Chains A and B, each alone.
Chain A
């Protein structure tokens, strides 16, 4: 009797290791039959992405629309937070999903190097040419081949503000960085409200801030070069951006709790500080702040308003994060599904769901269910060629994506000691050099 629980445990462990795609069983059996006229009837496609809960539900509606159109059967597998950890073993085991949606473009390069990706078919590339600027095509490419397409975007060039705090202080949303610091923030600070609630314990919020300031002050060309580490972090353009950030970091009264408080606050606590505790007026973060507003009682568009990230130079910055769809198996349906997701038609089905923003320039903003998303979509479309992808997500994760290391740590250290721009640049360059040569 003692052996039995062990065997059960081993089995359970084995199944857990392959885990996540519980959807496969039932749907496979329920397929077949229906609509023979459709081009892909009887084809089974497995798609893996990190979404769960509502996001998964919304995506499944898009899959449903695809199934109704083509007759294919699509099953969804959730990868959990760490997509790399989920896909790695499946690639090694020779059993990848047909289509995977990767949370970072960096993974496209990595999997292409491992020959785990299939180049996108000409029809898919035609959709990309039609709906995306060349920058996005390059982003989904590796070694001259196009492998991926950005299908879902997160808008990172925003400042959220609390309407009451602005009204009480008589502050106005700013159009330029200088106004943001000199007028908006100063007015708020004078009226006794901390202008910014920074979530500096979450290093990525600082990289997002840097990326916006840098894209705006140094322009898209330099941004691309720095993202690929073609110019060093000791470049004067980086110094300019850091100095501008130092205008916030250097004033203790501009940050809720001063720099020490900011460095102990992680995301989304700063959202709570601004909107629930009403201690600060602004939060510099992406559109997904809306998801954290639920518990604070602040309504998007009324108490919680947004301003586009102010220009710190010549470019109005639009930095996006987002998810890239890639084909991992040469199956009939896989290319068709990616083509659908990259198309205007697929994008518009998805756009009608809440919490989705399309990077596709031909998806009309009218499709979005709320004004906020419409406004965001409009900034993407009007920024046109100068929209850029989140730089830290393009860098090797040892530099741009690890807690307590690389860019996260160096920007936190800079927040602690904002007068030492040069020292911060040298540390950034040293860490970047180490990560990029690996």
Chain B
């Protein structure tokens, strides 16, 4: 058995059907080196060369048409320009490394390759080791493996929604805002602001609303605000001018439903803004603080005479925490990697769990009897014994990650596609998705092939060695 597989593989090795049926005693087919004694006999048990060729033909034809020819043609095509009739030599390859957009895709691919396979493998290992010890292991594994049953496209659609900015839609932000709001809640009137024109009595300074004029004793100030829908304060008390005397005034929403109303004056339908912190500032120092009442009026008591500006500090207008911008330019690649991990961690877990069950129990038992802690057993026994499986999972993930396409295509909104772009997506976009430059697209395809090739060879070699 071993001898047969050791020698250089005859073409017949490609078709299991031709060899497997004849059982282990049969000899190699003719094209193999004739050095062996048994192959010199005229009567062989295997199929004739002609028969072998006939069986090989469909596979060879399909491989040639679908693998070999496209690769050769892509290499050839990559040496020509977008239309395909001007020879540009290695020009397309040159522009891969000079175009800043393409360099971004390479950078992103590097991030992907460094981060994603590692996390997937480590998570898979953790899940596999942990599920071995719980009672409902199968159910747990089933759930973790479930994302594999979802197509990547559907997974992309799901995560596009998960990462939605609006906490009412996006689960990720819903969780984050709930956690955030339990620790610090935002109050006040986010969005409220003074009108932006010269007649407005107040203006925004460093986020706070400050009166333009010094406030005199006995002259109530009016601070009209806009930018809130009237419905927000429809239950509030109507705004009222503050009684004269001391430093006083009114903060109210100067918006009338349906338009109209006198600007910067309190109209009967307009509502006061209650609970706004008001500061009296003199020479940059806060001299007094008060709060508006239900009708929006405020009055400073015990303030020494003098001239002040009235300031509504920024805390009144703090926008509510709206979660994280997952789909913005900064976080888009980590966000997509997160989706990828969700899909593939289960797959890694299943492979590693299979490897785990094949580990000799006695080694673990022996270590435990010798007094090793669980961590030591894991570190010194389990992981080293598992390392072949871990490596296969890791390398498979690397190959998989290099050609990542669908998740990026679907999750990243159009405006951050340039920031999220990866080589495979760029290849498609340049050649078919509007770019119309199949020369450049072919160059990218070959570039990607060159990147994947070492890992493929590595994996194939491993499989060969394992078969032995």
Contact A260 B325 (CB under 8 A): yes
Contact B436 A264 (CB under 8 A): no
Tell me the smallest distance from the CB of A348 to a CB of chain B, in Å. 36
Q: A404 — which chain B residues lie within 8 A by C-beta?
A: 414, 417-418, 421, 429
- B434 CB-CB contact with A under 8 Å: yes
* Interface-lining segment among A30-38, A123-131, A195-203, A228-236: A195-203
Contact A264 B434 (CB under 8 A): no
Tell me the smallest distance from the CB of B109 to a CB of chain A, in Å. 16
Question: Which positions 171-220 of chain A face chain B at CB distance < 8 Å?
Answer: 171, 187, 189-193, 200-203
Which residue in chain B gives the minimum CB-CB distance to A257? B165
- B31 CB-CB contact with A under 8 Å: no
- B355 CB-CB contact with A under 8 Å: no
Contact B227 A201 (CB under 8 A): no
Contact pick for B414, options A189, A260, A396, A408, CB 8 Å: A408
Which residue in chain B gives the minimum CB-CB distance to A415? B415
Q: B258 — which chain A residues lie within 8 A by C-beta?
A: 167-170
- Report how far A191 CA is from B231 CA in the complex, Å: 10
Which residue in chain B gives the minimum CB-CB distance to A411? B415
Q: B437 — which chain A residues lie within 8 A by C-beta?
A: 398, 438
Contact A201 B415 (CB under 8 A): yes
- Report how far A263 CA is from B82 CA in the complex, Å: 31
Contact pick for A263, options B83, B260, B413, CB 8 Å: B413
- Report how far A261 CA is from B322 CA in the complex, Å: 11
Tell whether A192 pairs with B414 under 8 Å between CB atoms, given A264-B327, A396-B436, A404-B429.
no
- A401 CB-CB contact with B under 8 Å: yes
Contact indicator per residue, chain B 234-271, by CB within 8 Å of chain A (1) or not (0): 00000000000000000000011111100000000000
Contact B434 A192 (CB under 8 A): no
- Report how far A329 CA is from B417 CA in the complex, Å: 40
Contact A412 B414 (CB under 8 A): yes
- B369 CB-CB contact with A under 8 Å: no
- Report how far A406 CA is from B429 CA in the complex, Å: 12
- A303 CB-CB contact with B under 8 Å: no
Contact pick for A401, options B255, B259, B421, B434, CB 8 Å: B434
Contact A402 B433 (CB under 8 A): yes
- A397 CB-CB contact with B under 8 Å: yes
Contact A403 B229 (CB under 8 A): no
- Report how far A190 CA is from B258 CA in the complex, Å: 12
Tell me the smallest distance from the CB of B223 to a CB of chain A, in Å. 15
- A156 CB-CB contact with B under 8 Å: no
Contact B434 A397 (CB under 8 A): yes
Which residue in chain B gives the minimum CB-CB distance to A265? B413
Question: Which positions 253-304 of chain B face chain A at CB distance < 8 Å?
Answer: 255-260
Q: A397 — which chain B residues lie within 8 A by C-beta?
A: 434-436
Which residue in chain A gives the minimum CB-CB distance to B253? A192
- Report how far A12 CA is from B191 CA in the complex, Å: 59
Tell me the smallest distance from the CB of B63 to a CB of chain A, in Å. 13
Contact A191 B434 (CB under 8 A): no
- B432 CB-CB contact with A under 8 Å: yes
Q: B260 — which chain A residues lie within 8 A by C-beta?
A: 170
Contact indicator per residue, chain A 250-272, by CB within 8 Å of chain B (1) or not (0): 00010001001101111000000
Which residue in chain B gives the minimum CB-CB distance to A199? B414
Tell whether A405 pairs with B101 under 8 Å between CB atoms, given A191-B229, A438-B437.
yes
Q: How many contacts A-B (CB < 8 Å)?
A: 103
- Report how far A29 CA is from B208 CA in the complex, Å: 79
Question: Which positions 386-438 of chain A face chain B at CB distance < 8 Å?
Answer: 396-398, 401-405, 408-409, 412, 415, 438
Contact B413 A201 (CB under 8 A): yes
Q: A3 — which chain B residues lie within 8 A by C-beta?
A: 58
Contact B165 A261 (CB under 8 A): yes
Tell me the smallest distance from the CB of A263 to a CB of chain B, in Å. 4
Contact A266 B191 (CB under 8 A): no
Q: A189 — which chain B residues lie within 8 A by C-beta?
A: 226-227
Tell me the smallest distance from the CB of B104 to a CB of chain A, in Å. 10
- Report how far A265 CA is from B170 CA in the complex, Å: 13
Contact pick for A192, options B58, B227, B327, CB 8 Å: B227
The size of the chain A interface, using a CB distance under 8 A, is 38
- A85 CB-CB contact with B under 8 Å: yes
Contact A398 B433 (CB under 8 A): no
- B195 CB-CB contact with A under 8 Å: yes
Contact B255 A412 (CB under 8 A): no
Q: B418 — which chain A residues lie within 8 A by C-beta?
A: 404-405, 409
- B334 CB-CB contact with A under 8 Å: no
- Report how far A189 CA is from B346 CA in the complex, Å: 49
Tell whether A403 pairs with B434 under 8 Å between CB atoms, given A192-B229, A412-B415.
yes
Tell whether A202 pairs with B435 under 8 Å between CB atoms, given A261-B165, A405-B101.
no
Interface centre among B226, B417, B432 (most CB of A within 10 A): B417
Q: A203 — which chain B residues lie within 8 A by C-beta?
A: 414-415
Which residue in chain B gives the minimum CB-CB distance to A431? B101
Contact B82 A402 (CB under 8 A): no
- Report how far A412 CA is from B416 CA in the complex, Å: 9
- B188 CB-CB contact with A under 8 Å: no
Contact A402 B415 (CB under 8 A): no
Which residue in chain A gives the minimum CB-CB distance to B420? A404
Contact B433 A260 (CB under 8 A): no
Q: B429 — which chain A residues lie within 8 A by C-beta?
A: 402-405
Contact A190 B434 (CB under 8 A): no
- Report how far A401 CA is from B165 CA in the complex, Å: 27
Contact pick for B227, options A167, A190, A260, CB 8 Å: A190
Contact indicator per residue, chain B 424-444, by CB within 8 Å of chain A (1) or not (0): 000001001111110000000
Which residue in chain B gives the minimum CB-CB distance to A190? B226
Tell me the smallest distance from the CB of A181 to a CB of chain B, in Å. 12
Tell whether A438 pairs with B82 under 8 Å between CB atoms, given A264-B165, A408-B414.
yes
Q: B259 — which chain A residues lie within 8 A by C-beta?
A: 169-171, 187, 191
Q: A200 — which chain B residues lie within 8 A by C-beta?
A: 415
Contact indicator per residue, chain B 45-58, by CB within 8 Å of chain A (1) or not (0): 00000000000001
Q: A265 — which chain B residues lie within 8 A by C-beta?
A: 413
Q: A202 — which chain B residues lie within 8 A by C-beta?
A: 414
Contact B434 A168 (CB under 8 A): no
Contact B415 A263 (CB under 8 A): yes
Which residue in chain A gives the minimum CB-CB distance to B419? A404
Tell me the smallest distance from the CB of B206 to a CB of chain A, in Å. 16
Contact B232 A403 (CB under 8 A): no
Which residue in chain A gives the minimum CB-CB distance to B433? A402
Which residue in chain A gives the minimum CB-CB distance to B255? A191
Contact B232 A192 (CB under 8 A): yes
Tell me the smallest distance from the CB of B262 to a CB of chain A, in Å. 13
Contact B435 A398 (CB under 8 A): yes
Q: A398 — which chain B residues lie within 8 A by C-beta?
A: 434-437
- B13 CB-CB contact with A under 8 Å: no
- Report how far A261 CA is from B327 CA in the complex, Å: 10
Tell me the smallest distance from the CB of A324 to a CB of chain B, in Å. 18
Tell whether A190 pairs with B328 under 8 Å between CB atoms, given A170-B260, A266-B413.
no
Contact B328 A264 (CB under 8 A): yes
Q: A402 — which chain B residues lie within 8 A by C-beta?
A: 429, 433-435
Which residue in chain A gives the minimum CB-CB distance to B232? A192
- Report how far A187 CA is from B260 CA in the complex, Å: 10
Contact B413 A260 (CB under 8 A): no
Which residue in chain A gives the minimum CB-CB distance to B17? A2
Contact indicator per residue, chain B 396-414, by CB within 8 Å of chain A (1) or not (0): 0000000000000000011
Q: A264 — which chain B residues lie within 8 A by C-beta?
A: 165, 325, 327-328, 413, 415-416
Contact A193 B229 (CB under 8 A): yes
Contact A253 B191 (CB under 8 A): yes
Q: B434 — which chain A residues lie within 8 A by C-beta?
A: 397-398, 401-403, 405
Contacts A85-B432, A438-B83 given; 4 further ones with Cβ under 8 A? A168-B230, A192-B229, A201-B415, A409-B417
9 residue pairs bridging A and B, Cβ less than 8 Å apart: A85-B432, A168-B257, A187-B259, A192-B227, A192-B229, A253-B193, A402-B433, A404-B417, A405-B434
Residues of B within 8 A of A (CB): 58, 81-83, 101, 165, 191, 193, 195, 226-230, 232, 255-260, 325, 327-328, 413-418, 421, 429, 432-437
